[in-house]
A and B are shown apart, each in its own frame.
Chain A
Amino acid sequence: MNAIGTSVPRLEDERLLLGRGRFHDGVIRPGQLWMRVVRSPVAHGRIRGVDTSAAERLPGVVSVITSADLVGMPRIPVRQPAPGMDFTPYLQAPLATGFVRYVGDPVAAVLADDPYVAEDAAELVALDIEELPVALDARSAADLELECFGGHRAEVGIIEFGYGEVDEVFAGAAHVVSTNLRVGRHSGTPLEPRGLVAEWDDRAERMTIWGATKVPYFNRRVAAQMIGLPEHRIHMLETDAGGSFGVRGEFYPEDLLVPYLCFRTRRPVKWSEDRAEHFVAANHARQQEHDIELAFDEDHRLLGLRNEAWLDNGGYIRTHGAVVAVLTASMMSGPYRLPACRSRVHIVTTNKTPIGTYRAPGRYQHNFVREHALDVAATQLGADPVELRRRNLLDATEFPHRRAIHIFGSPMVLDGKDHLEHFDKALASSEYQAWREQARAARESGRLVGTGCAFILEKAGLGYDSAIVDVDTTGAVRVAMGGANVGQGIETVMAQITAEEFDVPAESVKVVLSDTDILPDGSGTFASRTTVVGGTAVKQAAEAVVRKARRVAGVLLGADPEELRVEGGTLFAPGDPDKRLTLAEIARVCFTPAHLRNGEEPGLIGRSTYVADGMTYPYGAHFAQAEIDPGTGQVRLLRYAITYEIGRAVHPQLVRQQILGGAVQGIGGALFEEFRYSERGEPQSITLNDYRWPRASDIPEIRLDVFEDSPAPGNPLGVRGAGEGGTAGAGAAVANAVRDALQLTGDVGALPLHPERVKELLRRRDGGDADRPARDA
């Protein structure tokens, strides 16, 4: 059994390399129509009228709908309720009703027999919208009372976590360091924009939907409830997806409009988002402002942390509800020994595209805010930033480390081995102290070079998932589970976990993802949970198959079932290798009367549902060395290193892919990517030229060391989740490196550190002012 832990070739690669990827746009159904969404051009307004008549007259147009066609339909619900918080007034309708709340808010949908005609027709829909004042800053908008929300406040609620006597601790602390930090608005923006296809089968009276990712089962439930169809009349089928990062696959307005229009016209409907549309329609993320304070004793030991933050939620509450705020506030307590903590996040609606979860939601922010504040503290205390961390990191004697906090109903138990030991190993493998020397020498010769480090606390594995494994009478092994292929190599990993139990090659296993006809329920792919939770369900389902195969083979071979060995898909008694049965032979026998049992499925089928007790908390470190061009303010990364505690890697190369790719995205948010708005709330970043992803030339070779020192105690595979650790620390490490390069005494103020902001920091530093740039809009 050597499938797990081996970097086998990815099962997804061949079709993708041959140009035969199964992306949604390749789903072509006979007689298919194209949907185009008409979106609000204003950020906040009262809808006085929508005139669809010219669009309807255009040849090729089949249907144009507005909110008037959806009267009585419920709004899009949240996936994860937050106890004590009522999101009802803030939920989004599939088509704007009465008011529009951001540029891009869907107002009408056009259906035509050609994509170009659908676009033409969408332009003919005349919108009469009375503009209203816009709110673009969460902190100052909190108290607004909004007519569009029935008079409710723009602030949806406050998420608070805490423990210990924090105010007392601060009152008596030897040192208190406080700072204000902001994280810009950026998001996952996968390369393939979103898309869906729905087809109605008149004979079967049911619909097939292609293109849902992330949470297909939730999306089926919501579509069924909103349209008023039994769930079993909707069949979700997987496609390949060109990236998700938490953004693709939530239930968006279009996830209702496509099946609704399909049901209404009984014709296949396709929708392919374009890039500009994606930038205003798909979830934004990240934007927060934080006031953070740290209290230390005489010896620089952390005593307490207080944090007050404002989350710029955008126009509506979307399906994630308060997840970003919860993860920000709860995990602000971080990887350190921290006797007292209080962390609050205000969720405030504004007139921008709504936010959602994007790779490392909350963690990108809390790691940046806490780690940057620690560097500011080091300067103010006259301490070394590395030593300040070492002094306060939890060590082996303190694990498992329980915090008096419950996250999503589960106690927060840091389940690692030794944060301090990890940091020391990371310092050695990255050769960070040498980087610091080089930077110091470079600064002495007049260059603006600096280094920054960050220790990150991550989390992964949440909720439940289900799987079915079956071996048929030809010996073919199939696994169906509730995740989605978003590029992470899930087929390969699920095949490996299944193959391990039967000792067969991974490539011989057929993987089926979130097919609602084969597997009635599953959870999806998000929160670095697919391998942790879904993988465990797969392992348990495969084990159930092996158990039954042993039982049947034991009878046939006259051997003790537990003694039988499984090798190469064959079971045999160790003492008598001639007595052997293949899985195919066993499967055939399973259908004979002697082996049927009341209440047991015939054949070799195993089912399992795995429910995680709580989350696992992986950890790691990020290190950056950066140089600033004093003329342009441009930041160039010279070196970058990451270490990460994975628990156990099912496929080491896929773990590397996840972490390296995640790091590039995190660096993007630290240096380049930002959704900017004009004063009227008009998006200024609607192309990939304005919203700048990192290119190959922006990224140094990243050194990555993945440790397997601390298998997760909470799941049988011992895995900890790999999806987000590469992203979670990038803002922190880059900001700290820039701060060091500029030798600031204060903080950098905000991410991203694009050239204008860096030049402003330089000006202020050289002008002798306080370091902080003025608050910019």
Chain B
Amino acid sequence: MTAPSDTAPERLPDLVSDVASEPEPAPIPVEVTVNGDPRALSVEARRSLADVLNRALGLPGTQVGCELGACGTCTVLVNGEPARACLMLAVQADGTEVETVESLARDGRLNALQKAFSEKYALQCGFCTPGFLMLATALLRKEPDASRERIRESVSANLCRCGGYSQIIDAIESVATAGADATAGDAIPGDAVPRDATPGAEPTTAAEPTPGTDARS
């Protein structure tokens, strides 16, 4: 079967767009740390962060369900906080640290939260899943022992059209109650917070540039 090609490079008109009927706005340079890697780009002002992640940066995991900020499918973390990548322009991400679903796996293996989603049957089509995973990642970093009600409140920010929500809540709750230790070496997903960080302290240290990267400040 002809698989969707990972190797055939897409034309990248996003980066160097053709001359339109109006004078072409000059592409704007953007430097952003994505999943720990510093990336330098030149993008048209109107391109969304989601489009640039998908098309220009080769990270197809972030999905788009509404393009209007209503569904949360496109949720990524920007400086550790959940953000809607369909609403945010790529140029607004300049100087930030962005985390996507591709950052969660450890050595290609599912992390504790991802495993819990599978074990609790929290995904069906999986289109909403990257958004819920990132939302839950941010929640559990700040509130590692979040209650079921708190989890329900938090995941009410995003929409799933296939499932009954309770299974998503079950999955997140199982990681929250298990605590980081119960998952045998698997950190809370994407955890950049030292284990002894005070729960509820300032958002996260993930907001800080990874040492050695060239994040603009």
Contact = CB atoms under 8 A, between A and B. Distances in A.
B69 to A, nearest CB: 9
A473 B105 CA distance: 34
A17 B128 contact: no
A31 B11 contact: yes
A114 interface: yes
A701 B166 contact: yes
Contact of A117 (B9, B20, B66, B166): B20
A191 B161 contact: yes
Interface in B102-140: 102, 104-105, 108, 110, 114, 117-119, 121, 123-130, 133
Contacts of A696: 152, 155-156, 165, 168-169
Contacts of B14: 114
Contacts of B153: 697
B165 A664 contact: yes
A515 B3 CA distance: 12
Interface string A527-569: 0000000000000000000000000000000000000000000
Nearest to B86: A275
Interface residues of B, number: 68
Interface residues of A, number: 74
Contacts of B65: 191-193, 242, 275, 688
Contacts, number: 210
B129 A17 contact: yes
A695 B124 CA distance: 16
Nearest to B155: A696
Contacts of A678: none
A469 to B, nearest CB: 17
A7 B121 CA distance: 10
A650 B133 CA distance: 28
Given A116-B46, A117-B17, A657-B167, A240 B60 contact: no
B125 A486 contact: yes
B77 to A, nearest CB: 14
Contacts of A20: 60-61
B13 A18 contact: no
Nearest to B108: A18
A372 to B, nearest CB: 24
Contact of B127 (A32, A192, A274, A702): A192
Given A60-B18, A191-B161, A515 B105 contact: no
A405 B97 CA distance: 64
B17 A114 contact: yes
A241 interface: yes
A58 interface: yes
A399 to B, nearest CB: 31
A496 B18 CA distance: 51
Interface in B28-63: 44, 46-47, 54, 59-63
A20 B128 CA distance: 13
B67 interface: yes
A113 B13 contact: yes
Contacts of A472: none
A54 to B, nearest CB: 8
B156 A19 contact: no
Given A17-B114, A689-B70, A487 B164 contact: no
A32 B125 contact: no
Interface stretch (A21-29, A611-619, A623-631, A745-753): A21-29
Nearest to B110: A17
Contacts of B128: 191, 242
B68 interface: yes
Interface in A651-691: 653-654, 656-657, 660-661, 663-665, 687-689
Contact of B117 (A13, A32, A59, A664): A13
A237 interface: yes
Contact of A60 (B13, B44, B60): B13
B101 A657 contact: no
B75 interface: no
A775 to B, nearest CB: 31
Interface in B77-109: 100-102, 104-105, 108
Interface of B: 1-5, 8-11, 13-14, 17-21, 44, 46-47, 54, 59-63, 65-68, 70-71, 73, 100-102, 104-105, 108, 110, 114, 117-119, 121, 123-130, 133, 152-153, 155-156, 159-169
18 contacts: A13-B123, A16-B126, A16-B129, A114-B13, A117-B13, A120-B20, A188-B161, A191-B127, A191-B162, A192-B63, A192-B125, A193-B65, A210-B4, A275-B65, A657-B121, A665-B161, A688-B65, A699-B165
5 nearest CB pairs, A to B: A19-B61, A487-B125, A16-B126, A660-B164, A242-B127
Given A18-B61, A191-B161, A240-B125, 17 more contacts: A9-B119, A13-B123, A17-B110, A18-B104, A18-B114, A21-B61, A28-B8, A116-B47, A120-B20, A193-B65, A242-B125, A242-B126, A243-B124, A660-B163, A661-B164, A664-B165, A687-B68
